[in-house]
Amino acid sequence: MKRKILLAWAGFALMAGPALAEEPIVGSWKRPNGTIIQYSSCGGDSYCGTVLTGEYKGKSIGSMSGKDGSYKGTVNKLDEGKTYNGKATASGSKLSLSGCVMGGLICKSESLTRQ
């Protein structure tokens, strides 16, 4: 009886695996300037970005909320001291970040590569 229960739970865990998979944004990403950033879950469908290398190591680069590779939130441009309303799209080994300030008058974007 115990063996059947264990097998049932093992089967359930295997079926639930894909549903429990991490979001595509989770992981380490390399910016064009060589800086590595990391997005990790910070509760619910929110993902916080942290600089792992370089001058701003340990600093927050903002947070994104969303799922299935499409996210919205804030992006901190640390070298400018500005925070942009941003969005991100993660697909495979690419992460596209973009953000705007002043009602969309000033926008920036960049593509990052998964590490």
Q: What is the pLDDT of residues 68-112, one digit of tens each?
A: 999 999 999 899 898 899 999 999 999 999 989 888 888 989 999
pLDDT at 1: 55
Distance, in Å, from the CA atom of 85 to the CA atom of 87, rounded to the nearest integer, reads: 7
10 Å CB burial of residue 56 (0-12, 13-18, 19+) is middle
pLDDT at 59: 98
| The residue type at 44 | G
Task: Work out the pLDDT band at 51, boundaries 50, 70, 90.
Answer: very high
